[in-house]
Amino acid sequence: MRWVIMIALFMFLLPGPAEAGQPLNVVASFSILGDMVKNVGGDRVKLTTLVGPDSDTHAYEPTPTDARVLAAADVVIINGLGFEGWIDRMVKTAGYKGKIIIASHGVKTHVMIDEDHGGKRITDPHAWQNLANGRIYVTNIEQALSQADPAGAGVFKANAEAYLKKIAEMETWVKAEFAKIPPARRKIITSHDAFGYFGLAYGVTIMAPTGFSTASEASAQNVGKLIRQIKQEKIKALFVENMTDPRLIERIAKDAGAKPGGTLYSDALSRPDAPGSTYLGMFHNNVTKMTSAMAIP
């Protein structure tokens, strides 16, 4: 008889579907998606971000707390395009049965060379680095939230529209800033090859010392080639990102006579006290730093 009571108790403890009036439990895979969900969902959403600010999504290790949060989620939003390699396994372990929303759905993807896996051609997952794609993300998020919480559809739509307008304003500003720089000077070097979409969208040539993943170690030859390249092309804009080893970039800058231009945010937002703590703040920070470094004579 006792086990029947036990089972009944467990049944009671299991999470039920979202009831009206309660906030929607949304899990976003990383900080940039989290910021978008916050903007669209507002108060109607209880948001959990799995990979927090300043952390590397490529190298993320799920914790038991994360799995518990995932199991209790109403909506799970991920970037897709192979960015969260760990998500399938984690969803299975956590026992999450709902739908997984792929925020990048409908984005025109492009291909990048994966240096870590023998130069294989893979889909570049960093699509949010183009603001036009960011608008697709926001629309996808709005639809997903409205489907899960039809009562809030009106609020979500209004929030999304206001946010989309801000994104469009930022896009106009970014294009205007780069228009001030002569095309031959629109080149940057950064330690993490996550700006493929950014480069294509705004006409900036992106070069990297190591491949696109943060996991591989540089060889003396790569570094030497890069220094020659910086000297030849007279690149001034040299950037350290928020999670790779900054010492290597500083060494290269010193050798090539360039200057490190500061921190760019690419895969993760910064902590709240730094300038890259929101999606739009990240663009403002990155573009200001890039253009001011490119303008150095």
The residues that touch another protein, with contacts defined as CB under 8 A, are 52, 54-56, 59-61, 214-224, 227, 243-248, 250-252, 254-255
Q: Taking a C-beta distance cutoff of 8 angstroms, is the pair 74, 98 a contact?
A: yes
**Nearer to another protein among residue 144 and residue 256 (C-beta):** 256
**Nearer to another protein among residue 89 and residue 254 (C-beta):** 254
| Shortest distance in whole angstroms from residue 21 CB to another protein | 34
- Residue 111 to residue 1: CA distance in whole angstroms: 60
**Nearer to another protein among residue 81 and residue 249 (C-beta):** 249
How many residues are there in the chain? 297
The edge-to-edge listing of strands for the beta sheet with 24-30 is 45-51, 24-30, 75-78, 100-102
* DSSP-derived 3-state class of residue 212: coil
| Shortest distance in whole angstroms from residue 246 CB to another protein | 7
Q: Count the neighbouring beta carbons within 10 Å of the beta carbon of residue 233.
A: 14
- Residue 14 to residue 123: CA distance in whole angstroms: 38
| Shortest distance in whole angstroms from residue 87 CB to another protein | 17
**Nearer to another protein among residue 31 and residue 159 (C-beta):** 31
Phi, psi of 186 (to 5 degrees): -80, 70
| Shortest distance in whole angstroms from residue 9 CB to another protein | 34
**Nearer to another protein among residue 222 and residue 292 (C-beta):** 222
End-to-end CA distance of the chain: 83
Type of residue numbered 64: P
- Residue 164 to residue 97: CA distance in whole angstroms: 31
| Shortest distance in whole angstroms from residue 263 CB to another protein | 12
**Nearer to another protein among residue 60 and residue 137 (C-beta):** 60
| Shortest distance in whole angstroms from residue 281 CB to another protein | 20
Q: Taking a C-beta distance cutoff of 8 angstroms, is the pair 171, 163 a contact?
A: no
